[in-house]
Amino acid sequence: MNALKARATGSGAPGSGAPRDRVTFEQLSWISACLGLTLLAHVTTLPVWVTATVVACAVLRLALAARGRDAPPRAIRLTLSALAIGLLFLQLRTFNGLSAGTALLGLIAGLKLLETRKRRDIYVITMIIYFLSLAALLQGESFWLLSYLVGVCWLTTSTLLRLTNAAHSIHRRTSVRYAGRILAQALPLAVAFWLFFPRFGGPLWQLPDNGHGATSGLSDTMSPGDITDLAMSDEVAFRVRFSGPTPPLEERYWRGPVLHDFDGHAWHRTGPVHAPGLLFRGPAYHYTVSLEPNQHNWIFVLDWPSESNAARGFLTSDYMLVQPSPILQPLDVTATSYAHAPAADPLSATMRARDTHLLAGRNPRSVRLAHEMRDAHPEALDYVHAVLQMFREQPFFYTLTPPLLGAEPVDEFLFGSKRGFCGHYASAFATLMRAAGIPARVVTGYQGGTYNRFADYWIVRQSDAHAWDEVWIEGQGWLRVDPTSMIAPERVEHGLNDIVSPGHELTSRWQQRTPWLTDTRLRLDALQLLWRQRILGFDQNSQEKLLGLLHVPEPDGQKLAIALAVCLILGMSWLTWSVRRELHVRPADPVSRAYDRLCRRLAAVGLPRMPQEGAEAFAARVAAQRPDLAPSIIALCRCYTQLRYARDPTRDAAAAFVSAVRAFRPRGSRASS
């Protein structure tokens, strides 16, 4: 019975504190839910045991509260805190920095929840939840993450409102509505800070990190089957917006790592070598690539790039566009590429030796096949066409689930399985070229893309990852050859019903049956790009342009600070006015407002109404002190009494009373002695 009483009142052990200040099971449940929702945004960055510890603390505290019991003994709590914090320090070696600080805050919140007894303990947890939400924003940049965290803060604020002294009279729906009003009132101040808080040479949204949150994609090595995993990923690699004509599908090859060294199984990048110059021919394509963060430093551009605005970016000897450091933040690069670019100079001996090298003794059957075919086709281009014809005529299959290959992967693919993904075909083709003495290299990147008609740009996903080859033909230079294109679509084993042309907008039969879902997805992606470019990309230059639009001459940091101060003053003034207006309780009906106006006018001439006086008693006293006002004030107060206590006062009578009060203007002071 005592336990049930304690649970109902929210009190713990007798004498441990005022029952009204004790937390209840419901309050513990709601604050635990808010903490759990906040930690959900950190689930991929927090150590697993930290999350497990917080969950265990919450479950234990709720179980005790459900039985009417208090927090565990102090000795147990101190021991658990010392062990958990010590283990965290041993793992991270520091409490400084965003990741370590976030882990420490989350752990402290869980330990604090375990010892929660009074409302002030929940106030502390609430503040930690707000800080954890801010830390999640510093670690991420997604529009959906921000929306999620705003919702979490909304729920947390409504929970905090129910912890006030009047919590018993606040319904959950009312507290949610009031918390929404608070967030809406804070929005103008947040916008002012975002617009006018000085930036220092770049967007002030995300702290520098170590790249753990960067997305992955292609690497600088490739072995048969590596790209298969990417083909099953729907993650966005980059987006492209063309400022002029869009190249046809056969020209939309997005150049990434170029691989030269082959050890018989895997292809690797090599160091820079002097490359022959290019003579740019054909149509020029101008476009902007919006890259997602990744742990590499290459920038995907169309073949063949001639120029770009990439900061510190440069073209390598094999025409890759790279920058010195990894792309840890979203990056927009404007570039120009040409459809054709024959070489201006002959291939150097160094490059020829590098791009014809094969390890002796590896894939011997493929080497013999190359020699036989080259004897039959002494011209380089004829030999290239012969190899492609072999892929077309023989029973080769394109599949996303190729069999595993052994020590001689090219031989096993060409003479055994004949099933593979683009990496298998590119590797085998380059091997056959090199074995015949023709310089060849493997190029990895992306091909195609999905057009977003709602925002006029292309989405290139990891599933568009591709590998192709480039061969050197004397007098023409490097020519792109895609041996995978020789395989007929009907030979696709896996995903035959789900894979269509890379340029097709609907990429699956399921999406073709539900086009509205595809449209929704494209609209959301357009919103994500707008968020990244307009919000996350709002930097120092954007602020200067904003001040220019506001006709501020010679915008600089000082004028930004002044603009921010003006916005804050206006915002705080508006908030102060809103609070004062909310605290001033006005009568709801017009009759009561009119009677209050009557009392104020009489008070202005020295006849204030006493708090205990009714309407007619007040009228009698005023008539005694001001006989000249007696007829009017007695009639008005009598009319108010009738309207105030009538069961169903008519609208015309109320309007007449309001008009009479409005016309009543007492003048001077003629109070009788």
**Which residue matches tokens 């016309």?**
663
Q: How far apart are CA 227 and CA 467, in angstroms?
A: 8
Spatial distance between the Cα atoms of 79 and 111, rounded to a whole number of angstroms? 11
CA 627 to chain centroid: 75
Which H helix or E strand runs over 468? Answer: strand 465-473
Which helix or strand (DSSP H or E) is residue 392 part of?
helix 380-393
236-242 and 281-291 as β-strands: parallel, antiparallel, unpaired?
Answer: antiparallel
Q: In angstroms, rounded to a whole number, what is the distance separating the alpha carbons of residues 167 and 73?
A: 29
Cβ density class 106-118: b for 16+ within 10 Å, e for less: bbbbbbbbbbbbe
**Where does residue 555 rank: exposed (0-12), middle (13-18), buried (19+ CB within 10 A)?**
middle
Separation of alpha carbons 384 and 474, rounded Å = 13
3-state DSSP call for residue 200? coil
Distance of alpha carbon 512 from alpha carbon 24, whole angstroms: 53
Beta-bridge mates of residue 459? 239, 450
Q: Are strands 419-420 and 397-398 parallel, antiparallel or unpaired?
A: parallel
The tokens of 427 are what? 């590797």
Of the CA atoms within 13 Å of residue 529, those in its CB half-sphere come to: 24
What is the distance of C-alpha 535 from the center of its chain? 11
> Which residues have a Cβ under 8 Å from the Cβ of 42 and sit 6 or more positions away?
51, 102, 106, 132, 135, 136, 139
User: What gap in Å lies between CA 226 and CA 423, rounded to an integer?
Assistant: 7
d(CA 9, CA 7): 6
The total number of residues shown for the chain amounts to 673
As a whole number of angstroms, the distance between CA 138 and CA 133 comes to: 9
Distance between CA atoms of residues 188 and 211, nearest Å: 33
For residues 508 and 518, what is the distance between their CA atoms, to the nearest angstrom?
10
The sheet that has 314-315: what strands, in order across it? Answer: 298-299, 321-322, 314-315
Distance of alpha carbon 660 from its chain centroid, rounded? 61
Torsions phi, psi for 8 (to 5 deg)? -70, -35
Q: Which residues are catalytic?
A: 422, 466, 482
Whether the CB-CB separation of 459 and 523 falls below 8 Å is answered with no
Which amino acid is residue 582, in one-letter code? E
Angstrom distance (rounded) from CA 427 to CA 414: 11
Task: Decide if 411 contacts 365 (C-beta within 8 A).
Answer: yes
3 state DSSP class of 402: coil
Cross-strand bridge partners of residue 181: none
Which residue has 């945004």 as its token pair? Answer: 41
Whether the bond into 516 is cis, omega within 30 of 0: no
Instruction: Extract the tokens encoding 227.
Output: 């790209």
Question: Are 481 and 384 spatial neighbours (Cβ–Cβ below 8 Å)?
Answer: yes
